[in-house]
C-alpha cells in the first residue's frame, strides 16, 4: 500500500476577484489539511477566475495574480497544492502552480489551448511543452490542465512514460447538456489507456453566459469511476488512492511497464522532480461520508439555470430581480428559476395587461405569484398605449396596421419594467427562449429588454419539460396546469397564436438544432424528413435575425452551441446555402 | 527591361455573397486584361468576403466557394490572377489561388493567422508552411497573404531566397486611425530589407463593425512608394514594374544576391514553379491617368464613417434611415454622415421635444434638416411621458425622483423611433459617441436603441473635429455654429449638463484612450497628470457599464481598439486595479 489522500476543491470563483478567490483557496487548503490530505487541487485559473478574457491584457492584473500566488504558496504549509494561475515568463501562460509545504516546487504550462466554441485561449496564451512529474510523499504525480487531457497524445503520455501514477488535471470546463457523459467516457478511456489514476478537478459557478458544473471526478487505472463531486455545487472531495496498485497493474502491461524517468516525446519533455522524500502518511483522520448530488435530465439543465441565475445576479451585486409575468410558460419558468435561485422574497413579478390580454393570462400570473410566494405588481399598459398611438397617429396616417403596433406594446412594457429597475435597483430578467431568439420571434427593446436572459438557450420544447420537471419538486405543482396546457401566444393582437408565424415547436426545434447547433444545411435538414418550404423559412428567419441576437442580454449556455461567443456569425451576410 | 504590368483590384465584396463577389472578380479580370495587365490581384478571401466568421463552419459554404473558384479559373484566359478563397485540404486554409490562362497553377496557404484584436483566424484555419514562387511572363512572383508580411522572418524571406522579384501580398486589413502610416512604414521596410517589389492589395468596404480602407500600395526594392490606390473607394490600380531593375539592384547586395531556387528555411519551404515561359509582353495599351483620393486627418475618419454607414445600410438591404435629432452635436454629425452616405432623400430626421427641451435644440434640428435637405418629423413626447408617469405613479409612490424619470423619456423616444422603423422599414441610426459608450452615459433601450451606431467609436472631442471638418466641405457650413458651440446636455431634467456627471470631455477622452485603448492602469494614468479621484471615477464607470455596451448596436471601428469584437471583457468582473 502506498496510500495518497487527494482532495479536489471544486470551488466557485469570481472573475477578477483576486482577493476573494485567494481567500477561498486558502480556506480550502486549511480544510484539506484538516482532513489529512497529501495534496489539494483547485480549478484552472482559480486565482483569476475563468475566463478572465481581456483582463489578461492588463499587465497589472497579471502582476496582482502573481502576488496572490505568493500568498497562497506561503500559506500552504504541511500540504501540497495544485493551483491554477496566470504565469508570466516572457509571454503569459495558462498555468498550474505545484506547491509543497510553503514552497513553489514547479509550474506547469498548458500545452493545448482551446480556441473554438466559447474559447479564445490563443488570443492570450503561449502554449507550454513540458510535462513534469512530481514525486510527492512517495507517489508520482503528473499535473496538466483541461484541454491537455482531451488529446490522446498529449502531455500525459510523456508523463506516464516518465512514471506518473496519478494525473492531477485541473479544469474550467463549462456545462452543456450531455457533457457529463462525454467527459466521463473520455477520462475513463485516458485512464485505462495509460494505466494510471486521473483526477479531474472542475470549476463550479456561473460566469456571464457560462455555467461550470463542478462534478469533479477520479477514475482509476482500469477506467473505473472511484469518486465524483456534486454537480452545480461548491464542494471539497477527498479520496484515498493506492499508488502501489497502479504500479502493480502496469507491471502486467508490457506497453506501460517501462518507466524511463526523463522522457522526450516529440516537442514534449517530461522530467521527474523529487519534491518530498517522505513516504505516505501512516495515520489520517477518517473521511466524512459524502453523497454527491447528481441530476438526471432535465434536472441538470434546471440546476444549471438556477446556479447561472444566482451567480449572475449576486456576482454583479444585485439582490432582487424583476420579471414581466404574462401568464405564459416562458415567464413562468423564469420566475420559478429565479425564486429557486434567490428566494421568493427577492423576486418581483409585474403583470402588464393590455386590451389583448386574456382573463386566463392575468389570473395565471396571479396564481403563480401566490403559489411561489413572490410579490406581484399589476400595471396595465392601456393608458400609455393609447397615448403612444395618439402621439404617432399623425406620422402613421394612411398606413396599414402592422408589426409596429404589436411591438409598441412590448416596448411600453419594457419602459415600465426598466423604470421599475432604475427606480428600485432590481435586475430585469428577460423571458425569451431559444426558439424565439433563433427565429427573431421577439421584440428588440421590448420583451428582449433586460439584464439577463435566463432561458435564452432553452428551446421551447425543453421549456415544457423543465416546467413538468419543476412541478415534481417542492413546492409541488407550483406551475399552474393551465400555463402548461394553453396554446402559446404573444397576445399582441386579437386571436394571435405562435403557429400563425412559426411552425409548431415540435417541428421548429429539431430544425433549429440541426441548423444552429449542428451546421446542417438545407438539403440535410430536408432529408431528416422536414418540409422544404418550412426548412427554407426557418433558415431565413435565423439568418435575418442575427442583428436582434447581437443586442440580446447575455443568458446561460446549456446546449452544445448557444447564441453568443459560441456562435459568431456576421450580421451583413448574403449566404444561406440554397 | 523586364516589364511586368500589375493590376490590383481593390474591390468591395460582401460577406456570403459568393455569386456577387465572383461576378465582380470576373469583371475586374476583364478590365485588367483590357489594360494589358500580366497579372491582377484581388483581396484576401475575395470570393467569400471578409471576415466570413462562423460561416466557415458550414461545409457547404466551403464547397460553394470552391465551385466559384473553378468558374473564376475558367474565366481567366490570357491573364494571370491571384484570388483569395477558402481552400479545403483536410482542414481549411485562408488561401490564395494563383491562376494563369484558365488554369489553377498554384495555391498558397496563409502562414501567419492573426488571432488578436478583431481577428479569430485560429478558430477556423490551419496555417500553411510553403511559400512558392511563380515564374510568370519572365518575372518571379512570390504570393502571400496579409499577416504574413507583418512578420520580418515570414514566408517572404524564403521566397526572396528562392529568387522572388515581386511579392503579391493580398489583404483584408481593416481601417483605424493612423494605420495607413503604420502599414506604409512596414511595407517599405520589408521591401528594402529584402530588395524586392511588394504590391499590397487591400479590400475596401464596410462589414459589420469593420471598414476596409483600400489604399492598396506598391513599394519598390528601395522602399519607395511607386503607386497607391484611393482610400475608401473601389478601384483598379494598374502599374508597370521593371523586374530587371530588382535583379540588378540585388546583384550589388551580397546578402540578397544568392538565388537558390528551391529553399528551406526552418519549417518554411519555397519552390520555384514555372508557369509561363513567355517573356514580358512587348506592346501594351497606355495606362489611364489616375489620381488616388487620399485623405488627411480627420478627413479619413469621416470618409470611413460614410463608407461604413453606406455599406451597413445597403448590404443589409435597407434604403432609408431614421435618426432622432436632438439638436446636439452627436445626432447632427450622424445625420450629416448619413446624408453624405445615402443621399439626403434617404435620411429622415425625427425631432422629439420634451418639457425639458430648449427652444434652441428644436430650432437647431430644424435648421440642420433644412440645410441638409432631409425630411424632418416632429413628434413631441409630452403626452406619452405624462401617461407613462401616471401609469407608474402607484408603483413609484413615496420614491424620490431619480434616473428612472430621465431614462423614461429616452425610452419613450426609442419607442417612437422604433415604431416609425417598424412601420416604414427605415433602419434606425443611433447617435451615441465613444465617450458615452465608455462611461455608460446613455440609456439602454433608450438613445442606444437602433440598428447601427455610426459614431460609437468616435470620442466626443473627435466628434467636434469631424463637425468642423465637414463644415469645410460642400454644402458648406451645414452644421449650425450654435450646435458646435452650445454646452453638451442630455436635456432629460432642468438645467442638466454633461459636466454634472462626467469630467469635461478634454479631460475624459485622454483618460478613456489610455484605459480602454492602451491598457494603462490607474497609476499610469495618474502619472499622465490627471486627478486621482477623476481617474478612479472614470475607470469605475467604464468597468461597470460593460453590460450596456454588450447590448449596443454594432458601429464602425475607427480607433486602435473599439468596443465590440476588439475588446472582450467579462460583465461579471471584480477587477479594476486599485
- ipTM score of the complex? 0.95
From the list A24, A68, A110, A460, the catalytic residue is: A110
Residue A502 confidence (pLDDT): 96
Rounded Cα gap, residues B419 and A482, in angstroms:
33
Residue B257 confidence (pLDDT): 76
Residues 250-309 of B with CB under 8 A from A: none
The pLDDT of B85-108, averaged and rounded, is 97
Residue B392 confidence (pLDDT): 98
| Residue B406, CA atoms < 13 Å, CB-side half-sphere | 17
B537-548 pLDDT, tens digit each: 999 999 999 999
Rounded Cα gap, residues A416 and B393, in angstroms:
11
**CB distance A289 to A239 below 8 Å:** no
Residue A1 confidence (pLDDT): 74
**Catalytic residue flag (residue A44):** yes
Q: Which among A55, A392, A550 has CB closest to B569? A: A55
Q: Does A401 touch chain B (CB under 8 A)?
A: no
Q: What domains, with CATH codes, occur in chain B?
A: 3-274 (3.60.110.10), 308-497 (3.40.50.620)
**Catalytic residue flag (residue A300):** no
Average model confidence (pLDDT) for chain B?
Answer: 96
Distance from CA of A190 to the nearest CA of B (A): 25
Taking contacts as CB-CB distances below 8 angstroms, the residues of chain A near B58 are 519, 521, 575, 577
Residue A463 confidence (pLDDT): 98
Q: Is residue B527 predicted with pLDDT exceeding 80?
A: yes
Q: Is residue B231 predicted with pLDDT exceeding 90?
A: yes
Residue B269 confidence (pLDDT): 87
Task: Give residue for cell 433549429.
Answer: A512
| Residue A555, CA atoms < 13 Å, CB-side half-sphere | 29
Residue B573 confidence (pLDDT): 97
Rounded Cα gap, residues B96 and B39, in angstroms:
14
Cα–Cα–Cα angle for B492, B497, B502, rounded to 5 degrees: 110
Rounded Cα gap, residues A369 and B477, in angstroms:
60
Whole-number percent of chain B with pLDDT over 90: 91
B302-329 pLDDT, tens digit each: 999 999 999 999 999 999 999 999 999 9
Rounded Cα gap, residues A389 and A355, in angstroms:
13
* Sign of the torsion angle spanned by Cα atoms A223, A226, A232, A237: negative
Please list the pLDDT of chain A residue by residue as tens digits (578 residues).
789 999 999 999 999 999 999 999 999 999 999 999 999 999 999 999 999 999 999 999 999 999 999 999 999 999 999 999 999 999 999 999 999 999 999 999 999 999 999 999 999 999 999 999 999 999 999 999 999 999 998 999 999 999 999 999 999 999 999 999 999 999 999 999 999 999 999 999 999 999 999 999 999 999 999 999 999 999 999 999 999 999 999 988 887 877 677 888 888 889 999 999 887 777 899 999 999 999 999 999 999 999 999 999 999 999 999 999 999 999 999 999 999 999 999 999 999 999 999 988 899 999 999 999 999 999 999 999 999 999 999 999 999 999 999 999 999 999 999 999 999 999 999 999 999 999 999 999 999 999 999 999 999 999 999 999 999 998 899 999 999 999 999 999 998 999 999 999 999 999 999 999 999 999 999 999 999 999 999 999 999 999 999 999 999 999 999 999 999 999 999 999 88
**CB distance B174 to B212 below 8 Å:** yes
Task: Give residue for cell 483566424.
Answer: B121
Phi and psi of B143, rounded to 5°? -110, 135
Task: Give residue for cell 485505462.
Answer: A192
Across the interface, whether the CB atoms of A316 and B571 are under 8 A apart is answered yes
Q: Does A50 touch chain B (CB under 8 A)?
A: no
Range in A255-269, B61-75, B171-185 the model is least confident about: A255-269
Across the interface, whether the CB atoms of B521 and A58 are under 8 A apart is answered yes
Q: At what angle do helices A329-342 and A299-315 cross, to 10 degrees?
A: 70
**Catalytic residue flag (residue A146):** yes
Rounded Cα gap, residues A519 and B472, in angstroms:
51
Question: What's the pTM value of the predicted model, to 2 decimals?
Answer: 0.96
Residue A478: all three cell numbers together: 407550483
| Helix runs in A175-298, H state only | 179-194, 243-251, 254-257
Across the interface, whether the CB atoms of B445 and A414 are under 8 A apart is answered yes
**CB distance A383 to A319 below 8 Å:** no
**CB distance B312 to A570 below 8 Å:** no
Amino acid at each position: 500500500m502506498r496510500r495518497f489522500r487527494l482532495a479536489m476543491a471544486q470551488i466557485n470563483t469570481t472573475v477578477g476577484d483576486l482577493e476573494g478567490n485567494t481567500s477561498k483557496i486558502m480556506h480550502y487548503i486549511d480544510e484539506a489539511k484538516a482532513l489529512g490530505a497529501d495534496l489539494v487541487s483547485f480549478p484552472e485559473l482559480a486565482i483569476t477566475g475563468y475566463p478572465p478574457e481581456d483582463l489578461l491584457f492588463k499587465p497589472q492584473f497579471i502582476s496582482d495574480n502573481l502576488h496572490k500566488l505568493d500568498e497562497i504558496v506561503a500559506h500552504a504549509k504541511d500540504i501540497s497544492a495544485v493551483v491554477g494561475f496566470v504565469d508570466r515568463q516572457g509571454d503569459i501562460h495558462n498555468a498550474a502552480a505545484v506547491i509543497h509545504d510553503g514552497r513553489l516546487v514547479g509550474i506547469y504550462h498548458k500545452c493545448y489551448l482551446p480556441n473554438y466554441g466559447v474559447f479564445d485561449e490563443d488570443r492570450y496564451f503561449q502554449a507550454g511543452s513540458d510535462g513534469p512529474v512530481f514525486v510527492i510523499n512517495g507517489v508520482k504525480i503528473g499535473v496538466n490542465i483541461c484541454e491537455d487531457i482531451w488529446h490522446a497524445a498529449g502531455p500525459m503520455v510523456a508523463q506516464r512514460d516518465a512514471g506518473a501514477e496519478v494525473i492531477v488535471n485541473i479544469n474550467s470546463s463549462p456545462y452543456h447538456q450531455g457533457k457529463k457523459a462525454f467527459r466521463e467516457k473520455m477520462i475513463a478511456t485516458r485512464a485505462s489507456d495509460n494505466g494510471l489514476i486521473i483526477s479531474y478537478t472542475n470549476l463550479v459557478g456561473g460566469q456571464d453566459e457560462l455555467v461550470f458544473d463542478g462534478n469533479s471526478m477520479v477514475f482509476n487505472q482500469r477506467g473505473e469511476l472511484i469518486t465524483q463531486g456534486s454537480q452545480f455545487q461548491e464542494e471539497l472531495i477527498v479520496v484515498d488512492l493506492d499508488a502501489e496498485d497502479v504500479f502493480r497493474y502496469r507491471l502486467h502491461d508490457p506497453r506501460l511497464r517501462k518507466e524511463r524517468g526523463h522522457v522526450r516525446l516529440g516537442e514534449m519533455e517530461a522530467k521527474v522532480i523529487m519534491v518530498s522524500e517522505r513516504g505516505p502518511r501512516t495515520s489520517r483522520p477518517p473521511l466524512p461520508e459524502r453523497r454527491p448530488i447528481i441530476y438526471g435530465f432535465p434536472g441538470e439543465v434546471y440546476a444549471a439555470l438556477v446556479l447561472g441565475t444566482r451567480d449572475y445576479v449576486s456576482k454583479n451585486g444585485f439582490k432582487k430581480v424583476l420579471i414581466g409575468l404574462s401568464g405564459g410558460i416562458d415567464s413562468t419558468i423564469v420566475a420559478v428559476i429565479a425564486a429557486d435561485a434567490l428566494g421568493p422574497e427577492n423576486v418581483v413579478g409585474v403583470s402588464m395587461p393590455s386590451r389583448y390580454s386574456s382573463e386566463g393570462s392575468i389570473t395565471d400570473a396571479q396564481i403563480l405569484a401566490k403559489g411561489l410566494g413572490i410579490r406581484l405588481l399589476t400595471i396595465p399598459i392601456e393608458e400609455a398605449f393609447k397615448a403612444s398611438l395618439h402621439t404617432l397617429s399623425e406620422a402613421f396616417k394612411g398606413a396599414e396596421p402592422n408589426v409596429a403596433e404589436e411591438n409598441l406594446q412590448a416596448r411600453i412594457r419594457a419602459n415600465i419594467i426598466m423604470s421599475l429597475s432604475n427606480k428600485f435597483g432590481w435586475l430585469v430578467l428577460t423571458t425569451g427562449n431559444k426558439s424565439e431568439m433563433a427565429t427573431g420571434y421577439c421584440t428588440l427593446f421590448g420583451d428582449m429588454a433586460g439584464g439577463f436572459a435566463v432561458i435564452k438557450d432553452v428551446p421551447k420544447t425543453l421549456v415544457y419539460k423543465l416546467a413538468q420537471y419543476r412541478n415534481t419538486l417542492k413546492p409541488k405543482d407550483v406551475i399552474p396546469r393551465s400555463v402548461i396546457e394553453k396554446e402559446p401566444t404573444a397576445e399582441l393582437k386579437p386571436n394571435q397564436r405562435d403557429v400563425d408565424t412559426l411552425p409548431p415547436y415540435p417541428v421548429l426545434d429539431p430544425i433549429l438544432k440541426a441548423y444552429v447547433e449542428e451546421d446542417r444545411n438545407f438539403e440535410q435538414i430536408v432529408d431528416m424528413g422536414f418540409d422544404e418550404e418550412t426548412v427554407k423559412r426557418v433558415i431565413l428567419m435565423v439568418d435575418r435575425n442575427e442583428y436582434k441576437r447581437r443586442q440580446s442580454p447575455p443568458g446561460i449556455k446549456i446546449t452544445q452551441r448557444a447564441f453568443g461567443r459560441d456562435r459568431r456569425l456576421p450580421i451583413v451576410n448574403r449566404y444561406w446555402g440554397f
